[in-house]
Amino acid sequence: MATSSKLKLSPITNLSDARFAAAEGIAYMGFCFDPSSADFLLPIKAKEIIEWTSGSHTVGEFGDQELQDIAELSELLNLDIVLLSNAILPDELPQIGKPIIKAINLNVMDSVQLANELCAYAPYCDGFQLNGTIEISEREGELIEACAQYKIIWNLPFATENVKQILHTYKPYAINLLAGSEEKTGMKEYDELYAVLDAISAN
């Protein structure tokens, strides 16, 4: 692959996606364990998928669950990484016992708030995932700076035709690719994902 940025596929909801991630060398597979999300996956289903695949790091994506519940489920499933989108305080994070990625919603955070959030959580987190539907060109400077200082997973808007430009301009640590749903069990088309991977790999 021409870029040094890694890839994350999320949310994984079926074995087909997990096998695709493993076959394409995708570094991270995200499983949604937030009960309030439409992408919520039962832990027992996630366990089955994880046991059938290898090669990608497993990321548990949590919502507003209690810290103890997150720690227990992460240990039960032997997750590699925990992604948090709640307001657990920075110095409480080591209790989870796993590497942490902190999700940050840029829709509700300006440049000063973003800088403060990154600074506060950096000593306790292995990286950050930036989420939102912002107009990235309006915040180009702060996004370039964030990607230069921290391990940033890019979960911000991009299109297949400009993904290479995003990687070149901002240089995020990783980029999140959206996994869709199966048409029916065991059947799914990956044309869009292949198009993105081809665009990333193109010279």
Given this model, what pLDDT does residue 186 score?
Answer: 52
Between the CA of residue 118 and those of 78, 115, 190, 193, 197, what are the distances in Å? Answer: 27, 5, 34, 30, 29
| CA-based torsion, 29, 56, 153, 162: positive or negative | negative
Digitized pLDDT (tens) for each residue of the chain, 203 residues in all: 445 689 999 999 999 999 999 999 999 999 999 999 999 999 999 999 999 988 899 999 999 999 999 999 999 999 999 999 988 999 999 999 999 999 999 999 999 999 999 999 999 999 999 999 999 999 999 999 999 999 999 999 999 999 999 999 999 999 999 986 655 555 568 899 999 999 998 75
User: 81-84 and 6-10 as β-strands: parallel, antiparallel, unpaired?
Assistant: unpaired
Tell me the domains of the chain and their CATH numbers. 6-201 (3.20.20.70)
Provide the phi-psi class of 176: left if phi over 0, else alpha when psi is between -120 and 50, else beta: beta
Contact between 62 and 86 under an 8 Å Cβ cutoff? The reply is: yes
- Supply the DSSP symbol for 162: G
Given this model, what pLDDT does residue 1 score?
Answer: 40
Q: What b/e string do you get for 8-42 counting C-beta neighbours within 10 Å, with b at 16 or more?
A: bbbbbbbbbbbebbbebebbbbbbbbbeeeebbbe
Phi first, then psi, for residue 62 (nearest 5°) are: -110, 160
Give CA–CA dist 13/28, Å, rounded. Answer: 14
Helices (H) and strands (E) in the chain, counts: 7, 8
CA–chain centroid gap for 42, Å, is 18
Contact between 11 and 179 under an 8 Å Cβ cutoff? The reply is: yes
